[in-house]
Amino acid sequence: MTKTEYMALAEARFDALNDLHKQTDSYQYEKKFDQIWTDLGRAVLEQTIGPVPNDKRKKTSFGVGTDSYK
Protein backbone atom coordinates (compact mmCIF):
# COMPACT_ATOMS: atom_id res chain seq x y z
CA MET A 1 0.00 0.00 0.00
CA THR A 2 1.31 3.39 -0.91
CA LYS A 3 0.88 6.62 0.99
CA THR A 4 -1.46 7.85 -1.75
CA GLU A 5 -3.72 4.79 -1.40
CA TYR A 6 -3.84 5.21 2.39
CA MET A 7 -4.62 8.90 2.11
CA ALA A 8 -7.46 8.13 -0.32
CA LEU A 9 -8.98 5.69 2.19
CA ALA A 10 -8.64 8.20 5.04
CA GLU A 11 -9.96 11.07 2.93
CA ALA A 12 -13.09 9.06 2.13
CA ARG A 13 -13.91 9.09 5.86
CA PHE A 14 -12.87 12.68 6.58
CA ASP A 15 -16.36 14.16 6.18
CA ALA A 16 -17.83 11.59 8.57
CA LEU A 17 -15.14 12.42 11.14
CA ASN A 18 -15.70 16.13 10.63
CA ASP A 19 -19.46 15.74 11.19
CA LEU A 20 -18.92 14.15 14.61
CA HIS A 21 -18.96 17.56 16.30
CA LYS A 22 -22.70 17.71 15.55
CA GLN A 23 -23.33 14.93 18.06
CA THR A 24 -24.79 16.19 21.33
CA ASP A 25 -24.48 12.90 23.20
CA SER A 26 -20.97 11.74 24.06
CA TYR A 27 -22.05 8.09 23.82
CA GLN A 28 -23.24 8.57 20.23
CA TYR A 29 -20.05 10.51 19.43
CA GLU A 30 -17.88 7.69 20.70
CA LYS A 31 -20.00 5.04 18.97
CA LYS A 32 -19.79 6.75 15.57
CA PHE A 33 -16.09 7.52 16.04
CA ASP A 34 -15.43 3.85 16.75
CA GLN A 35 -17.42 2.77 13.67
CA ILE A 36 -15.48 5.13 11.41
CA TRP A 37 -12.07 4.03 12.68
CA THR A 38 -12.98 0.34 12.63
CA ASP A 39 -14.13 0.72 9.03
CA LEU A 40 -10.90 2.52 8.11
CA GLY A 41 -8.80 -0.15 9.84
CA ARG A 42 -10.63 -2.93 8.02
CA ALA A 43 -10.15 -1.18 4.67
CA VAL A 44 -6.43 -0.65 5.31
CA LEU A 45 -5.96 -4.26 6.40
CA GLU A 46 -7.80 -5.64 3.37
CA GLN A 47 -5.84 -3.34 1.07
CA THR A 48 -2.59 -4.54 2.63
CA ILE A 49 -3.13 -8.32 2.70
CA GLY A 50 -5.82 -8.73 0.05
CA PRO A 51 -9.56 -9.37 -0.03
CA VAL A 52 -11.33 -11.52 2.54
CA PRO A 53 -11.87 -15.06 1.18
CA ASN A 54 -15.38 -16.47 0.80
CA ASP A 55 -14.66 -19.22 3.33
CA LYS A 56 -13.42 -17.48 6.48
CA ARG A 57 -12.40 -20.80 8.03
CA LYS A 58 -9.87 -21.58 5.31
CA LYS A 59 -6.37 -20.53 6.29
CA THR A 60 -4.04 -19.32 3.61
CA SER A 61 -0.44 -18.33 3.76
CA PHE A 62 0.68 -14.92 2.65
CA GLY A 63 4.06 -13.30 2.47
CA VAL A 64 3.46 -10.09 4.42
CA GLY A 65 5.88 -9.99 7.34
CA THR A 66 6.20 -13.76 7.66
CA ASP A 67 9.98 -13.86 7.56
CA SER A 68 10.25 -11.48 10.54
CA TYR A 69 8.76 -14.10 12.90
CA LYS A 70 11.45 -16.76 12.37
Model pLDDT for residues 55-65, shown as the tens digit of each residue: 767 766 666 55
How many Å apart are CA 26 and CA 13, to the nearest integer? 20
Is there a domain that residue 60 lies in? no
Q: Report pLDDT digits (tens) over 18-59.
A: 999 898 899 999 999 999 999 999 999 888 887 667 776 776
Q: Judge whether residue 67 has pLDDT over 60.
A: no
- The number of distinct structural domains making up the chain is 1
Q: What is residue 70's three-state secondary structure?
A: coil
Is there a domain that residue 20 lies in? yes
* pLDDT given at position 69: 46
Q: Judge whether residue 7 has pLDDT over 90.
A: yes
* pLDDT given at position 70: 45
Is there a domain that residue 59 lies in? no
Q: Which domain holds residue 12?
A: 6-49
Is there a domain that residue 10 lies in? yes
* pLDDT given at position 64: 58
Is there a domain that residue 22 lies in? yes
How many Å apart are CA 41 and CA 39, to the nearest integer? 5
- Provide the residue type at 6 as one letter: Y
Is there a domain that residue 68 lies in? no
